[in-house]
């Protein structure tokens, strides 16, 4: 029988790979974004805007959930990983706030979504104990890692983002999410989090996350005149069936989290990280000029 008790001695340990904090600067004036900036796709443009709007408050929540247990972490490698995780997440929040300001000017309700998210997470912090909040953080970090590594590994996923500055932001974000994907999980395990709570948190979080994403995307679309063109709307919704982010391999990857004994590093991403670190930040890296 599989144990549902704390798993501090089981599974793959956190990676010793250094987690580098990169200060970035993105701009949206040199090449302004089109209204439907995801290759002209109506629904996906709203989905990406909603996800970006959720990130800043979400990243802050992740940092608070992990840092709550900072004084209980004794492993020096994990301490360094937490510091790197914190720095990266703070940077993600800052850059997504800048992107969200641009999206707000374009007509997307990013400010409203940010306020809604802030209130919802504040309520969660009042209602739920710290260890459960950490379990939720680990679950959401698994989602972001699965989507991030799909973006990095699947040319079709990158193709739909075109060559806009949004693509640059998301590639940088994807690389760093992949670098620190195991940190919240390892902290959860180090402080005695159980398999039972981890799996329960993933089930509850999945329902909440998908519900919030659907709610905000629908409300965002309702405020867009283009969504009232029935042919365009139906074609855009139908195209979601072929989205690289909804392929069976991605769904299986997300669902693997429910397996007792799972660890984020079960999916080895070392080669992917090496490839994209060089492609983005190597000598001829496409984002080297964005580093501050």
The tens digit of pLDDT for each residue in 79-90 reads 999 999 999 999
What does the pLDDT look like over 102-119, one tens digit per residue? 999 999 999 999 999 999
Res. 201: pLDDT tops 70: yes
Task: Over range 33-53, report the average pLDDT.
Answer: 96
Task: Over range 143-154, report the average pLDDT.
Answer: 97
The per-residue pLDDT for 211 is 97
**Does residue 222 fall inside a structural domain?**
yes
What does the pLDDT look like over 215-242, one tens digit per residue? 999 999 999 999 999 999 999 999 999 9
**Does residue 3 fall inside a structural domain?**
no
**Does residue 96 fall inside a structural domain?**
yes
State how many domains the chain has. Answer: 1
* CA-based torsion, 145, 83, 92, 140: positive or negative: positive
**Does residue 8 fall inside a structural domain?**
no
User: For residue 6, what are the β-bridge partners?
Assistant: 194
**Does residue 130 fall inside a structural domain?**
yes
**Does residue 24 fall inside a structural domain?**
no
Share of the chain above pLDDT 90, in %: 91
Res. 28: pLDDT tops 50: yes
Structural element, H or E, at residue 100: helix 76-105
**Does residue 2 fall inside a structural domain?**
no
Res. 32: pLDDT tops 90: no
**CA distances in angstroms from 276 to 129, 155, 263, 269, listed in the order given:** 37, 13, 22, 11
DSSP 21-76: ---B---SSSSPPPTTTTTT-HHHHHHHHHHHHHHHHHHHHHHHHHHTTGGG---H
283-291 long-range contacts (CB < 8 A, ≥24 apart) are: 286/168, 287/24, 287/168, 287/171, 287/172, 290/24, 290/25, 290/26, 290/168, 290/172, 291/22, 291/23, 291/24, 291/25
**Does residue 48 fall inside a structural domain?**
yes
What does the pLDDT look like over 245-281, one tens digit per residue? 999 999 999 999 999 999 999 999 999 999 999 999 9
Residue pair 218/46 in contact by the 8 Å Cβ criterion: no
- Please work out, in degrees rounded to the nearest 5, the angle formed at the alpha carbon of residue 198 by the alpha carbons of 195 and 199: 85
Residue pair 128/248 in contact by the 8 Å Cβ criterion: no
Q: Range of 159's domain?
A: 42-280
The per-residue pLDDT for 16 is 62
């Amino acid at each position: 029988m599989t144990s549902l008790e704390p798993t501090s001695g089981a599974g793959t340990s956190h990676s010793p790979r250094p987690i580098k904090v990169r200060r970035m600067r993105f701009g949206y004036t040199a090449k302004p974004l089109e209204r439907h900036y995801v290759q002209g796709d109506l629904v996906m443009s709203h989905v990406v805007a909603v996800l970006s709007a959720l990130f800043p408050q979400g990243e802050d929540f992740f940092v608070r959930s992990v840092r709550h247990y900072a004084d209980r972490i004794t492993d020096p490698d994990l301490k360094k990983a937490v510091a790197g995780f914190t720095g990266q997440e703070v940077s993600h929040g800052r850059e997504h706030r800048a992107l969200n300001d641009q999206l707000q000017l374009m007509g997307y309700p990013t400010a409203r979504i940010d306020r809604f998210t802030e209130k919802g997470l504040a309520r969660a912090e009042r209602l739920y104990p710290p260890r459960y909040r950490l379990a939720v953080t680990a679950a959401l970090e698994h989602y972001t890692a699965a989507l991030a590594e799909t973006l990095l590994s699947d040319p079709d996923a990158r193709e739909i983002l075109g060559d806009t500055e949004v693509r640059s932001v998301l590639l940088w974000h994807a690389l760093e999410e992949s670098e620190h994907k195991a940190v919240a999980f390892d902290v959860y395990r180090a402080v005695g989090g159980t398999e039972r709570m981890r799996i329960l948190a993933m089930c509850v979080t999945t329902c909440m996350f998908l519900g919030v994403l659907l709610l905000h995307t629908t409300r965002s679309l309702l405020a867009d005149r283009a969504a009232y063109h029935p042919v365009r709307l139906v074609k855009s919704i139908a195209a979601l069936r072929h989205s690289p982010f909804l392929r069976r391999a991605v769904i299986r990857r997300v669902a693997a989290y429910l397996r007792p004994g799972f660890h984020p590093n079960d999916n080895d991403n070392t080669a992917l990280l090496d490839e994209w670190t060089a492609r983005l930040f190597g000598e001829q890296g496409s984002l080297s000029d964005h580093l501050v």
